């Protein structure tokens, strides 16, 4: 009888442990559901003819600070779908289409905030053609990891005293650091030199700091502290704007130099414009 009771108590203990040890609190489940990424879709068309704009790049950016969340290309019917977007954050859809020999101006959507369980309305954009264009070309100093990306950024006045930096083009530099943006509408832009790392946009692990120099030794930094990784340019019709980085000998970029504040923009990792 004693053995039977001891076996029964042991079985009850195992049952209670199994029931109570693998259930996540309801609050944690709700938080996990809220953190799931969302999608946003729409369609791009010609403002005059209504023709669908295929193979145009579309990006999703934070409506307040310009952080770039995702990018996608339109299909044959001009439709796009942006994935892995955050919830509860105001987002603007941006595009500057180039379809064959036809170039269009930049359009920025109204802010859209995605809510869990509420399908967002399609964000459709219509574009006006641009008759004259220029070109941007240049190079960045090649480093240990080739293929770093370069972004063409434009500041847009959204009214009400709001200005937002929007990414309209994104290219991967060649192994020698050269890059170019063709068919660019005239205007003022910034060329941003993004990072490039192996590992699909993952940031490089922290690098050990070099030993501190003695006070009497001269200090020659590889990069001026706080120096921007973008260059302001103006594109004129029928002209080529040249830009190189770094532009100063004091900004010498050496192979293998750690750049912990750079991020590769694969649209899988958020990138915040300076």
The residue among 222, 172, 176 whose CA lies nearest residue 194 is: 172
DSSP 96-139: --EETTEEE--EEPPPEE-BTTBPPPP--EEE-EES--EEEEEE
Q: How far apart are CA 57 and CA 70, in angstroms?
A: 11
Cα 212-215-216 angle, rounded to 5 deg: 125
For position 260, what pLDDT does the model report? 34
Which residues are CB-contacts of 43 (< 8 A; sequence separation ≥ 6)?
52, 74, 77, 78, 79, 80, 122, 124, 125
Q: Hey, where are the domains in the chain?
A: 36-130, 134-251
CA distance 85 to 33: 14
Evaluate whether 36-130 and 134-251 have a shared fold: yes
Strand-pairing partners, residue 182, are none
In CATH, which superfamily holds the domain spanning 36-130? Immunoglobulins (2.60.40.10)
Q: What is the pLDDT of residue 141?
A: 78
Name all contacts of 76-81 with Cβ < 8 Å and 24+ positions apart.
Answer: 76/52, 77/43, 77/52, 78/43, 78/44, 78/45, 78/52, 78/53, 78/54, 79/41, 79/42, 79/43, 79/52, 80/41, 80/42, 80/43, 80/44, 80/56, 81/39, 81/40, 81/41
pLDDT tens for the 274 residues of the chain, in order: 444 455 544 444 444 444 444 444 444 444 444 444 899 999 999 999 999 999 999 999 999 888 999 999 999 999 999 999 999 999 999 999 999 889 999 999 999 999 998 999 999 999 999 999 999 999 887 664 567 888 999 999 988 888 899 999 988 888 888 999 999 999 999 999 876 443 333 444 455 556 555 554 443 333 333 345 889 999 999 999 999 888 654 444 444 333 333 333 333 445 555 4
Give the CB-side neighbour count of residue 170, counting CA atoms within 13 A: 23
DSSP output for 47-66? TTT--B--S-EEEEEETTT-
What Cα–Cα distance (Å) separates residue 56 from each residue in 19, 60, 70? 53, 13, 14
Helix (H, G, I), strand (E, B) or coil at 185: coil
The dihedrals phi and psi of 3, each to the nearest 5 degrees, come to -65, -40
* pLDDT score, position 194: 79
Please identify, in words, the CATH class of the domain defined by 134-251: mainly beta
**Cα dihedral sign, 250-255-261-266:** positive
């Amino acid at each position: 009888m004693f053995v039977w009771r001891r076996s029964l108590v042991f079985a009850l203990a195992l049952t209670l442990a199994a029931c109570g040890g693998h259930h996540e609190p309801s609050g944690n489940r709700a938080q996990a559901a809220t953190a799931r990424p969302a999608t946003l879709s729409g369609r791009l068309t010609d403002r005059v003819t209504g023709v669908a704009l295929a193979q145009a790049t579309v990006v999703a950016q934070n409506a307040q600070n310009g952080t770039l969340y995702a990018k996608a290309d339109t299909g044959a019917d001009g439709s796009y779908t942006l994935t892995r977007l955050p919830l509860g954050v105001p987002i603007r859809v941006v595009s500057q289409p180039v379809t064959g020999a036809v170039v269009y101006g930049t359009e920025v959507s109204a802010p859209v905030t995605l809510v869990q369980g509420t399908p967002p309305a399609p964000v459709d954009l219509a574009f006006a053609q641009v008759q004259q264009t220029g070109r941007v070309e240049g190079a960045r100093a090649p480093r240990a990891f080739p293929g770093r990306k370069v972004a063409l950024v434009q500041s847009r006045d959204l009214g009400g005293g709001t200005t937002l930096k929007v990414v309209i083009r994104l290219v991967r530099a060649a192994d020698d650091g050269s890059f170019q943006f063709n068919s660019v509408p005239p205007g003022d832009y910034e060329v941003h030199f993004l990072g490039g790392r192996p590992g699909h946009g993952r940031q490089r692990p922290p690098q050990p700091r070099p030993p501190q120099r003695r006070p009497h030794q001269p200090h020659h930094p590889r990069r001026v502290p706080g120096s921007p990784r973008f260059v302001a340019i103006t594109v004129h019709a029928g002209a080529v704007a040249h830009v190189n980085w770094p532009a100063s000998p004091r900004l010498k970029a050496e192979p293998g130099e750690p750049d912990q504040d750079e991020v590769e923009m694969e649209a899988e990792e958020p990138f915040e414009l300076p």
